[in-house]
Structure 1
Amino acid sequence: MYSITSESSHHPDIINLIAALDRYQSELYPAESNHLLDLSELTEENLILMVIRDQQLTAVGCGAVVLNGDGTGEMKRVYIDPTHRGQHLGETLLAALEDEALSRHCHTVRLETGIKQHAAVRLYERCGYEMRPPFAPYTADPLSLFMEKALVVDVRLAAL
């Protein structure tokens, strides 16, 4: 059994998971194509950060949504430890992040991921994300893919 809870970006478990993610991405892409965001620089108002823990309370995954204040958010730092993959933790984590984003008046979530992260792209597609052009602050990059998901069908409903 796994649990998903909110966590601080300064928590050692989050720091360790993000360090593992950074090592993984640094092996796949050159520095200019690695859009690594230091979550500790963001305020709690603008950040949704969640951690997945196993039965022993070991942190095995994390993910974040950065809220932009305009009803959109950006999915960042999604990572599941390789030894815990294949158990639908990614889908569960994305659903939890999206639910919290929606409760904080976010109607659309966007993301940037790399072309070599096939499992991540499949996860996002299974969860309803669709390809889109680059969005600010990104520019076109042959090693990047950009995706988006509307959390509500009618954005006017997000204001309710």
Structure 2
Amino acid sequence: MPAAITVSLEPAAQPEVIALIEALDAYQIPLYPMESHHGIDMAALSAPNVMFAVARDGQGMAVACGAIVVGPEFGELKRMYTLPSHRGQGIAGALLARLEAEAHARGVRSFTLETGYLQTDAIGLYERLGYRRCGPFGEYVDDPNSVFMSKIVN
């Protein structure tokens, strides 16, 4: 990760962060049918059980974001996105590590995520970071457009 990048927990409801989430939606919405979209909205990202992290460059610009929704059984990774101009620099890994560390400090030991099968770079990142494919979890149902992954941290 570039030295100038910082990752911190921040509110999701900020103009720069909203722009990142809109860019994520603009990318994903055309790829999958609506019933295969499982993003959460700004109100849900602002809930007390959600940890939201933002990666910022040396000028303070938001370049990546992600969240973990902490539930009674697991923490679910949501809304991970890095600007295309900043990919391949280790930012997403640092962002995910920060989120996992914060959730782990709050007692979360099991992490889950759902992503689209066309997100091969994201799937590769998650696999490199210890996530393994699994079946649907929580309220998800089997979906050929979805890849479900989980990770246990002691």
TM bracket, shorter-chain basis: over 0.9
Number of aligned positions between the proteins: 151
1:44-123 correspondence to structure 2 within 5 Å: 44-68=47-71, 70-123=72-125
Name the residue aligned to 2:21. 18
CA contact (8 A) 1:9 1:40 kept: no
**4+ aligned runs moved over 4 Å, structure 1:** none
Asked if residue 6 in structure 1 is aligned to residue 9 in structure 2, the reply is yes
**Displacement after TM superposition at 1:104 (Å):** 1.0
Asked if residue 41 in structure 1 is aligned to residue 40 in structure 2, the reply is no
Letter in 1 for 2:25: D
Relative distance call for 1:74 and 1:14 in structure 2 (3 A) is same
**Displacement after TM superposition at 1:43 (Å):** 5.1
For structure 1, the residue ranges without an aligned partner over 5 or more in a row are 153-160
TM-score using structure 1 length: 0.90
Moved more, 37-46 or 86-95: 37-46
DSSP-derived class of the 2:115 partner: strand
Rounded Cα–Cα distance in structure 1 between residues aligned with 2:139 and 2:41 = 15
CA contact (8 A) 1:54 1:60 kept: yes
**Displacement after TM superposition at 1:150 (Å):** 0.6
TM-score using structure 2 length: 0.94
CA contact (8 A) 1:62 1:80 kept: yes
CA contact (8 A) 1:115 1:145 kept: yes
Name the residue aligned to 1:151. 153
For structure 2, the residue ranges without an aligned partner over 5 or more in a row are none
CA contact (8 A) 2:45 2:67 kept: no
CA contact (8 A) 2:50 2:69 kept: yes
Relative distance call for 1:46 and 1:133 in structure 2 (3 A) is same
Q: 1:124 aligns with which of 120, 123, 126?
A: 126
Letter in 1 for 2:14: H
